[in-house]
Amino acid sequence: MKFTKAAVSGALALAVAIFAGQGACRKKTFDYDARSTIVLGQYASLTGGTADFGKSSNDGLQLALEQINASGGLLGKQVSVTTEDDQSNSDNAVAAVSKLINRDKVSAVIGEVASTRSLSGGGICQSSRIPMLSPASTNPQVTKTGDYIFRICFTDDFQGKICARFAKDQGWKRVAMLTDTANAYSKGLATAFKENFPVDMIVADENFKAEDKNFEAQLNKIKATNPDAIYLPAYYTEVGLIVTQARRAGMTMPFFGGDGWDSPQTQSNPDTVGCFYSDHYSANDPSEATQKFVKAFAKKYGHQPDAMAVLGYDAMGVMAQAIKDAGSADPKAIRDALAKIKNYDGASGQITIDENRNATKSIVILNVTGKPVPDLAKRYDPGE
């Protein structure tokens, strides 16, 4: 029989754990409720390639935390959130989550925005049995990691389907696609789009890899097919480069994409004016919970919140609700309470956690206009 290196070290770790458990005469596991504060963890891309994501969701989270502590905290205690910067890197995400769990003994983890990093960090949370709540990771696989992994946003199965629906509603008959194959999020969205759009109307299907800088070859191939629009399910970091290179090559058709476009860099790029992307919320949404949040956020930070900000805010709010419902800071009790969250009145809409630990939410299509806040073009509700 052959053993892989991973299997041998896994078996060894298990043997050591059993031995240690016996040696300590069933030493009591860590008592999360004996602490004078409630300690939570967050991992986020505060620096590195996609720093806009982490900084923004952290801003939202900190605003919620401030409000929670100002109104007396939770279970009669103040709440602290220890934040680890993963520098937009998946390996660092694993290290960050390990530190939060083993060094800081956090009761629960909030993070990440990017699906690829939530997949990495989520594995550690699941094997350590510490609940993780992702504010913004939409790739379907994220919550499939296990029963301790939750999210407060919709998934890319829905987002891709709605993008296909929007393309049909626009009357686009020739759609080209350009996918980032180094990004789980991009690949997932591309798959969902293809499942919901007539195959004979997809005139080109090109790929690139995150951090590529030159897209001339793919754009030339796409240009030759004369598409009505180009579906680009990518992050803002590449979106700007690609759209600008396309405009320079004389391509004037609209690009459209998903929530990964959301960044001040997209709004301030004149080449993206006239493009569309699907997103979690519009700052122009008149609902009371949204407008209350938008005002408080603008007062604290001096600008309008984007989707990551609103989701960071709601993730902290939902986590606080779960701790209140659980009446405990114990990870298992918080997990069980998260699974039962229903009709939470979030700034990003009503949040109900379903049996797959996902949230079912409405989606908006935003239109880039060159103003700091994009226009709300359309809204689609779940089930559409």
Q: Which residues bind ligand PHE (CB under 6 A)?
A: 53, 113-115, 136-139, 185, 259-260, 262, 307-308
CB-nearer residue toward ligand PHE: 172 or 235: 235
Q: How many CA atoms within 13 Å lie on the side-chain side of 184?
A: 16
State the minimum distance, in angstroms, from the CB of residue 185 to ligand PHE: 3
State the minimum distance, in angstroms, from the CB of residue 304 to ligand PHE: 14
CB-nearer residue toward ligand PHE: 138 or 328: 138
CB-nearer residue toward ligand PHE: 114 or 347: 114
State the minimum distance, in angstroms, from the CB of residue 183 to ligand PHE: 7
d(CA 63, CA 59): 6
Report which residue type is found at 28. K
State the minimum distance, in angstroms, from the CB of residue 251 to ligand PHE: 25
Which ranges of the chain would DSSP assign to H, the alpha helix?
A: 5-23, 51-70, 90-98, 115-128, 141-144, 156-169, 184-196, 216-224, 236-248, 264-267, 288-301, 307-326, 331-338
What is the DSSP secondary structure assignment for residue 371, as one 8-state letter?
S
CB-nearer residue toward ligand PHE: 83 or 115: 115
State the minimum distance, in angstroms, from the CB of residue 220 to ligand PHE: 28
d(CA 346, CA 207): 36
CB-nearer residue toward ligand PHE: 277 or 344: 277
d(CA 373, CA 304): 7
Task: Say if residues 152 and 343 touch (Cβ distance below 8 Å).
Answer: no
CB-nearer residue toward ligand PHE: 49 or 73: 49
Strands 38-44 and 109-110: parallel
CB-nearer residue toward ligand PHE: 210 or 273: 210
State the minimum distance, in angstroms, from the CB of residue 50 to ligand PHE: 8
Nearest Cα neighbor of 361 from 174, 138, 211 is 138
Is the preceding omega at residue 112 within 30 degrees of 0, hence cis?
yes
What is the DSSP secondary structure assignment for residue 372, as one 8-state letter?
S
State the minimum distance, in angstroms, from the CB of residue 262 to ligand PHE: 4
Residue 98 corresponds to which tokens in the numbers above?
A: 């390990």
Strands 349-351 and 344-346: antiparallel
Cα–chain center distance at 232:
18
State the minimum distance, in angstroms, from the CB of residue 359 to ligand PHE: 13
CB-nearer residue toward ligand PHE: 93 or 136: 136
